[in-house]
């Protein structure tokens, strides 16, 4: 059984992960409509990963004998000026999520919830990767801003991304 404070924080993170999925779907739709099918694919796969992150948290809450708390998932932003802005927002969002995850890790330490701390460390490490990937893609897209040919190549490259469940199951 986990403490209520931890269950509440984890439930809020389930919501945040599903919101991330929703946000990346909105970005994916925008990229698709603008003709960037590869970028749309990358964002769609990212959305599926976020759903898997949320589902894994949800399953952990139940496994620890607590009840997940459900709240509204806010609507994502729908308009973007272009793909550069999309990736600026992906990076900003991932940095924000890192802050949320770090707070949960801090709370688990405060509450001496060692299992919870161990669990959330997967997400701490994942955020390092998420930020690094978003940063790298933003740099590439900025470089390609004035070179349509280069942007076309990046778009094709991002079209190759496929979804792999980070937890080896079928979630997402």
Residues in the site for ligand OFO, rule: CB under 6 A? 17, 20, 50, 53, 94, 97, 126, 130
Q: Considering the complex, what minimum distance in angstroms separates the CB of residue 162 from ligand OFO?
A: 17
Minimum separation from the CB atom of position 3 to ligand OFO (A): 23
Nearer to ligand OFO (CB atom), residue 2 or residue 120: 120
Between 30 and 89, name the residue whose CB sits nearer to ligand OFO: 89
Which CB, 43 or 144, lies closer to ligand OFO? 43
Q: How far is the CB of 135 from ligand OFO (least distance, A)?
A: 13
- Of 40 and 151, which has the nearer Cβ to ligand OFO? 40
Measure the CA angle with vertex 161, ends 157 and 165; round to 5°.
165
Alpha-carbon distance of 110 to 123, in angstroms, equals: 18
Cβ nearer to ligand OFO, comparing 20 with 30: 20
- Minimum CB distance to ligand OFO, residue 169 (Å): 16
CB of 94 to ligand OFO, least distance (A): 5
Name the one residue in this structure whose structure tokens are 């932003």. Answer: 77
Asked if 9 and 57 count as a contact pair (C-beta separation under 8 A), the reply is no
């Amino acid at each position: 059984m986990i403490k209520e404070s931890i269950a509440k924080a984890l439930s809020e993170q389930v919501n945040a992960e599903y919101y991330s999925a929703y946000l990346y779907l909105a970005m994916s739709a925008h990229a698709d409509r603008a003709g960037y099918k590869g970028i749309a694919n990358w964002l769609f796969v990212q959305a599926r990963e976020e759903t898997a992150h949320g589902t894994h948290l949800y399953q952990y809450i139940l496994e620890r004998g607590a009840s997940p708390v459900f709240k509204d998932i806010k609507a994502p932003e729908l308009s973007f000026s272009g793909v550069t802005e999309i990736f600026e927002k992906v990076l900003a969002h991932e940095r924000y999520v890192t802050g949320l995850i770090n707070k949960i890790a801090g709370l688990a330490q405060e509450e001496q919830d060692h299992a919870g701390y161990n669990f959330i460390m997967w997400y701490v490490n994942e955020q390092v990767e998420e930020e690094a990937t978003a940063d790298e893609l933003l740099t590439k897209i900025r470089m390609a801003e004035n070179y349509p040919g280069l942007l076309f190549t990046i778009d094709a490259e991002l079209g190759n991304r496929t979804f792999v469940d980070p937890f080896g199951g079928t979630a997402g």
